[in-house]
């Protein structure tokens, strides 16, 4: 049997995860939705720790979409407070373990104290080399593309790479590739929900029914193994036909 060839956009994988199913998981347990978010935050911690062991150099987590503002206020407030508490406890750990934190999405609608904490986290972890951890909060891929388009100089055509740089202007000063190799969505839904639309143009997609609070490092390991069995052609013909 001919072995598959995996082609990555860089050294180490960029894996993006839509962490879906927290609320539904809690409801099925007979508990309030916020309980699912609490467990989900702990699950994120374990997946972050497991990422480098699975060949992941960049991990992007979808924490809060721009459309999530439409959720009940009590749930939004809980999520923001949870995120802020999580950051307070994790910054030192990220520094210790060489994890660089980068936040993508809007910041103007977030609580100033949270924004200050995010800025502090980025500054303190900037020299982390074991993992680039990108967290999407108040994020919309379509809005990000529109914002980048508004920055264009229409008198001078640009390349895809230059547009990607505009799109990821929030990571100015960070040499972090944005092209996604593998996008995982938990919770059973099979859609991208306005997440990394440009960056996922050639990403392999993996949808699982496992709810995020039940998603363990061994699930991640198994998905990565399946990813390495796929042949990524980027528009080219299969290797067997090219020979």
What's the CATH code of the domain at 133?
3.40.1180.10
What pLDDT digit, counting tens, does each position of 124-157 carry?
999 999 999 999 999 999 998 988 888 776 667 7
Taking alpha carbons only, the member of 14, 176, 17 closest to residue 101 is 176
Taking alpha carbons only, the member of 214, 118, 224, 126 closest to residue 181 is 224
**pTM to 2 decimal places:** 0.87
Asked whether residue 50 is domain-assigned, the answer is yes
Asked whether residue 2 is domain-assigned, the answer is no
The pLDDT assigned to 230 comes to: 86
Asked whether residue 32 is domain-assigned, the answer is yes
Q: Which helix (H) or strand (E) holds 34?
A: helix 33-50
Asked whether residue 7 is domain-assigned, the answer is no
Expressed as residue numbers, the domain containing 120 is 13-242
Top pLDDT among 230 and 65 is at 65
What pLDDT digit, counting tens, does each position of 99-125 carry?
999 999 999 999 999 999 999 999 999
- Please check the confidence at residue 4 and state whether its pLDDT lies above 70: no
Top pLDDT among 167 and 113 is at 113
Asked whether residue 8 is domain-assigned, the answer is no
Residue 51: DSSP 8-state: T
> CA–CA separation, 107 vs 137, rounded Å?
8
> CA–CA separation, 220 vs 56, rounded Å?
11
What pLDDT digit, counting tens, does each position of 11-24 carry?
799 999 999 999 99
Residue 100, burial from CB neighbour count under 10 angstroms (0-12, 13-18, 19+): buried
- Reduce the DSSP state of residue 227 to 3 states and report it: helix
Asked whether residue 230 is domain-assigned, the answer is yes
Q: In 59-109, which residue ranges form alpha helices assigned H by DSSP?
A: 73-97
Find the mean pLDDT for residues 223-243: 73
* Active-site residue list: 20, 68
> CA–CA separation, 6 vs 62, rounded Å?
25
Give the percent of the chain with pLDDT over 90: 74
Neighbouring C-beta atoms of residue 35, cutoff 10 Å: 17
> CA–CA separation, 143 vs 53, rounded Å?
33
> CA–CA separation, 17 vs 203, rounded Å?
12
Quote the number of domains for the chain.
1
Asked whether residue 87 is domain-assigned, the answer is yes
């Amino acid at each position: 049997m001919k072995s598959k060839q995996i082609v990555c956009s860089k050294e180490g994988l960029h894996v993006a995860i839509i962490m879906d199913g927290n609320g539904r998981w809690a409801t099925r347990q007979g508990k309030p939705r916020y309980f699912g978010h609490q467990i989900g935050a702990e699950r994120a911690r374990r997946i972050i720790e497991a990422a480098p062991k699975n060949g992941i150099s960049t991990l992007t987590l979808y924490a809060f979409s721009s459309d999530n503002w439409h959720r009940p206020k009590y749930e939004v407030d809980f999520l923001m407070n949870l995120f802020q508490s999580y950051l307070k406890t994790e910054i030192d750990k990220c520094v210790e373990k060489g994890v660089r934190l980068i936040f993508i999405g809007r910041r103007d609608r977030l609580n100033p104290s949270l924004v200050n904490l995010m800025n502090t986290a980025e500054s303190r972890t900037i020299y982390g080399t074991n993992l680039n951890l990108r967290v999407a909060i108040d994020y919309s891929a379509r809005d990000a593309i529109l914002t980048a388009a508004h920055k264009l100089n229409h008198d001078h055509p640009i390349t895809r790479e230059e547009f990607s740089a505009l799109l990821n202007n929030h990571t100015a000063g960070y040499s972090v590739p944005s092209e996604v190799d593998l996008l995982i969505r938990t919770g059973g839904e099979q859609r991208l929900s306005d997440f990394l639309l440009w960056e996922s143009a050639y990403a392999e997609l993996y949808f699982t029914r496992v709810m995020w609070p039940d998603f363990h490092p061994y699930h991640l390991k198994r998905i990565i193994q399946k990813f390495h069995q796929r042949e990524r052609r980027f528009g080219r013909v299969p290797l067997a036909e090219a020979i």
